[in-house]
Chains A and B, each alone.
Chain A
Amino acid sequence: MAITTVPETPRKPGRPPSPYSARPQRTSLGRKVRDNLTGHAFLIGAVICFVVFSWYPMIRGIVMSFQRTRRGETTWVGWDNYSRIIADPSFWTAWQNTFYFTVLALVLGYVVPFFVAVLLNEFRHGKGYLRILVYLPVMLPPASALFLFKFYAYDPSEAGLFNAILKALHLPTSQWMQSPEMTMPAMVVASTWMNMGGAVLIYLASLQNIPGELYEAAELDGAGIWRRIRHVTIPQTRLILALLAMLQIVATMQLFIEPLILANGAGAEDSATSVAYLIYQHGFFQNDLNGAAALGVIMLVVLAGFSAVYVRLTAKQD
Chain B
Amino acid sequence: MAQDSGTRTLISQTQISRGRGRVIYWTLLVVVVAAFTLVFLGPLYWMVTGALKSGQEIAQTPPSLFPKDPQPQNYIDAWNNLDLAKLLFNTFYYAIGAVLFQLVLDTAAAYSLSKLRPIFGNVILALMLGTLMIPAMVLIVPQYVTVIDLPILHINLLDSPFAIWLPLVANAFNIFLLKRFFDSIPEELMAAALMDGASSLRTLWSIILPLSRPILGVVSIFAVTAVWKDFLWPKLVMPSPETRTVSVGIYAFAGGTPMNVVIAASVIAAIPTVIIFLIFQRNIMSGLTTGSIKG
Chain A residues near B (Cβ < 8 Å): 2-6, 8-9, 16, 18-21, 35-40, 42-43, 45-47, 49-50, 52-58, 60-61, 64, 118-137, 139-145, 147-149, 151-153, 157-161, 164, 167-168, 193, 198, 201-202, 204-210, 212-213, 215-216, 219, 225, 228-229, 232-233, 240, 250, 253-254, 256-257, 261, 275-276, 279-280, 283-284, 289, 292-293, 296-297, 299-300, 303, 307
Q: Which of B61, B116, B284 contacts A38 (CB 8 A)?
A: B116
Contact, CB under 8 Å: B231 / A57: no
Contact between chains at A130 and B266 (CB < 8 Å): no
Tell me which of A42, A142, A157, A253 contacts B111 (CB under 8 A). Answer: A42
* Chain A residues positioned under 8 Å from B70 (CB to CB): none
A215 touches B8 (CB 8 A): yes
Are A46 and B169 closer than 8 Å at their CB atoms?
Answer: yes
Q: Are A137 and B3 within 8 A (Cβ)?
A: no
- Tell me if B277 and A136 are in contact (CB < 8 A): yes
A53 and B46 contact, CB distance less than 8 A: no
Q: Which residue of B lies closest to A283 (CB)?
A: B141
A45 touches B109 (CB 8 A): yes
Contacts of B85 in A (CB 8 A): none
Q: Choose from A57, A134, A212 the contact partner of B9 (Cβ within 8 Å).
A: A212
CA distance A142 to B289 in the complex (A): 22
Known: A5-B176, A42-B108. A53 touches B3 (CB 8 A): no
A46 touches B109 (CB 8 A): yes
Known: A47-B109, A296-B140. 11 other contacts (CB 8 A): A42-B112, A49-B170, A52-B166, A53-B143, A53-B169, A135-B277, A147-B254, A148-B266, A161-B43, A213-B8, A240-B293
**Given A20-B116, A42-B200: A144 touches B109 (CB 8 Å cut-off):** no
Q: Which residues from B are CB-within-8-Å of A45? A: 104-105, 108-109, 169
A21, A140, A300: residue with the most chain B Cβ atoms closer than 10 Å: A140
B residues at A contact (CB < 8 Å):
1, 3-5, 7-13, 16, 29, 32-33, 36-37, 39-41, 43-44, 46-47, 50, 58-63, 104-106, 108-109, 111-113, 115-119, 121, 124, 127-128, 131-147, 150-151, 166-167, 169-170, 173, 175-176, 180, 187, 190-191, 194, 200, 204, 222, 225-226, 228-229, 231-232, 236, 246-248, 250-251, 254, 259, 262-263, 266-267, 269-270, 273-274, 276-278, 281, 284-285, 288-289, 291-295
Q: Check A202/B289 contact, CB under 8 A, given A39-B118, A130-B36, A276-B137.
A: yes
